[in-house]
Structure 1
């Protein structure tokens, strides 16, 4: 197997193990077994479980960031940007691979490298939201950045709540479209109420 293909195989297996077991419950034996390789092969690519986790964290946060960036680039209308970004966030959270768990839930929540990566993602997402808010509501930058963080928190908390309850409620749960639409309407009605300065 070509080195890049092997690396992708190991990352895929590791993601499945981390999502299923969490960081603390996962071990390199399980990851090697899931990838159908020996531990020495796994260690040849990744010197530790932590390094493997950090690479997966980077991959998943970058993927989510790319999805969100694309959603706001698809239109010039801020109302649609907010709608599309919230829908994209919910779509990412709803993925079958559980990637959001790896990105936002782990036993490494106090690890400085994990915290820094998550904060960089939050800062980026909040920055995109702040630009939309500032442009539409004509607010000072500090206020727009604060509201960008609030919007990011709203999307993150509601999407995680939705995906966890969807698993419990089954067919009685809100659809992805219905849930993201409700959050969008709440967010946009709030943002659009800010008076524009003249």
Structure 2
């Protein structure tokens, strides 16, 4: 098997192990067995468990940032933009192939490399949202960042809560739209200074 394909196989299985058992309970023996490789081969790709975890965390962060960028750029209608962003968060959490627990619920936050990455993705998404808010409302950067952080936190907590709830009661789409409705009621109270088009009602 080509090296890159083997590495991908290891990462896929390692993500499942970390998601199911957490960082501290997961062992390199277990990951090697799950990936169908020997420990020496595993260590050829990742010299330590932490380096493997960080590689998975980086990939999860990249996926989340891409989803956020796509949602924010999908429309110039701000109401639809809020809805798209919420649905992106819920979809990221619902996708069992994503690394959402590594990004949102890491049990290795005492590791500075993990903490820095998690803090950086929260800041990056809040900043992306803040840029849109600031451009549309004229709010100062720090004011817009407060709102961006609030919306990012709302999306994350609500999506994580939905995952542990009885999903037969409300679908992903219904839940995301419900939370988006709450967020939109707050955001729309700020007057637009640079309307992108006909404002949503």
Q: Which TM class, normalised by the smaller chain length?
A: over 0.9
Deviation at 1:88, TM superposition (A): 0.7
Q: Which residue is equivalent to 2:198?
A: none
Confirm whether residue 153 of structure 1 aligns to residue 144 of structure 2: no
Decide whether the 8 Å contact of 1:137 with 1:192 is kept in 2. Answer: no
Instruction: State the alpha-carbon separation in 1 of the partners of residues 193 and 89 from structure 2.
Output: 30
Extract unaligned runs of 5+ from structure 1: none
- Whether 1:192 aligns to 2:188 is yes
Inter-partner Cα distance in structure 2 for 1:94 and 1:197: 36
Task: Write the mapping of 1:26-37 to structure 2, written as runs, cut at 5 A.
Answer: 26-37=26-37
Q: Give the alignment of 1:1-198 within 5 angstroms.
A: 1-97=1-97, 99-165=99-165, 169-171=166-168, 173-196=169-192
Q: Which runs of 5+ in 2 are unaligned?
A: 195-201
Moved over 4 A (4+): none
Secondary structure in structure 2 of the residue aligned to 1:76? coil
TM-score by length of 2: 0.92
Cα distance in 2, alignment partners of residues 20 and 132 from structure 1: 36
